Amino acid sequence: MKTSHWHRTRWAAPTAVATLTLAAWATWVQAADKDKAAAAAAGASAAQAALTVTTTTAQATTLAHKLSANGNIAAWQEAVIGTEANGLRLADVRVNVGDVVKKGQVLATFAAETVQAELNQTRAAVGEAEATLAEAEANAQRARELSATGALSAQQINQYLTAERTARARLDAQKAMARLQELRLKQTQVLAPDNGVISARNATIGAVLPAGSEMFRLIRQGRLEWRAEVPSSDLPQLKPGMPVQVALPTGSTIGGKVRMLAPTVDDKTRNALVYVDLAASPDVRAGMFARGEFEVGSGQGLTLPQSAVVLRDGFSYVLKLGAGNKVAQTKVSVGRRVGDRVEITSGLDAQARVVASGGAFLADGDLVRIVDAPPAAPKAQASRSSASTLGAVVPTATSAK
Measure CA 175 to chain center. Answer: 57
- Whose CA is closest to 83, among 189, 204, 225? 189
Torsion angle of C-alpha atoms 235, 78, 286, 336, degrees rounded to 10: -20
- Whose CA is closest to 303, among 354, 353, 345? 345
Instruction: Give 182's contacts (C-beta < 8 A, 6+ positions apart).
Output: 119
Pairwise pLDDT comparison (250 vs 5), residue with the higher score: 250
pLDDT of residue 36 exceeding 80, the answer is: no
Q: Where are the domains of the chain?
A: 50-63+299-399, 69-76+220-297, 78-111+188-219, 113-186
Q: What is the pLDDT, as a whole number, of residue 5?
A: 46
Measure CA 211 to chain center. Answer: 41
Q: Kindly report, residue by residue over 161-171, the tens digit of the pLDDT.
A: 999 999 999 99
Q: For a pLDDT cut of 90, what percent of the chain falls above it?
A: 50
pLDDT of residue 22 exceeding 70, the answer is: no
Give a three-class secondary structure readout of 155-174.
HHHHHHHHHHHHHHHHHHHH
Q: What is the pLDDT, as a whole number, of residue 73?
A: 95
Alpha-carbon gap, residue 320 to 353, rounded angstroms? 6
Q: What is the pLDDT, as a whole number, of residue 33?
A: 59
Q: For a pLDDT cut of 70, what percent of the chain falls above it?
A: 80
Q: What is the pLDDT, as a whole number, of residue 200?
A: 94
pLDDT-based confidence at residue 379 (cuts at 50, 70, 90): very low
Q: Which CATH architecture has domain 69-76+220-297?
A: Beta Barrel (2.40)
Q: What is the pLDDT, as a whole number, of residue 27?
A: 63
Q: What is the pLDDT, as a whole number, of residue 59?
A: 85
Alpha-carbon gap, residue 224 to 221, rounded angstroms? 9
Q: Kindly report, residue by residue over 93-111, the tens digit of the pLDDT.
A: 999 999 999 999 999 999 9
pLDDT-based confidence at residue 179 (cuts at 50, 70, 90): very high
Q: What is the pLDDT, as a whole number, of residue 363?
A: 85
Alpha-carbon gap, residue 326 to 317, rounded angstroms? 16
Evaluate whether 359 touches 50 at the Cβ level (below 8 Å).
no
Evaluate whether 297 touches 313 at the Cβ level (below 8 Å).
no
Alpha-carbon gap, residue 344 to 300, rounded angstroms? 11
Q: What CA–CA distances, in Å, run from 308 to 292, 332, 391?
A: 27, 11, 15
User: Would you say the C-alpha torsion 12, 18, 21, 22 has a positive or negative sign?
Assistant: negative
Average pLDDT, stretch 163-187? 93
Q: Would you say the CATH fold of 78-111+188-219 matches that of 50-63+299-399?
A: no
Beta bridge partners of 89: 208
Q: What is the pLDDT, as a whole number, of residue 147?
A: 79
113-186 folds as Helix Hairpins (1.10.287)
**Sheet containing 196-201, strands listed edge to edge, beginning at the edge strand earlier in sequence:** 78-82, 214-220, 196-201, 100-101
pLDDT of residue 399 exceeding 50, the answer is: no
Neighbouring CB atoms inside 10 A of 98's CB total 9
- Whose CA is closest to 218, among 110, 109, 95? 95
Average pLDDT over the chain, rounded to an integer: 82
Average pLDDT, stretch 325-329? 87
Q: What is the pLDDT, as a whole number, of residue 338?
A: 79
pLDDT of residue 7 exceeding 50, the answer is: no
**What would the CATH number be for the domain defined by 50-63+299-399?**
2.40.420.20
**What would the CATH number be for the domain defined by 78-111+188-219?**
2.40.50.100
Q: What is the pLDDT, as a whole number, of residue 35?
A: 56
Measure CA 299 to chain center. Answer: 24
Evaluate whether 323 touches 100 at the Cβ level (below 8 Å).
no
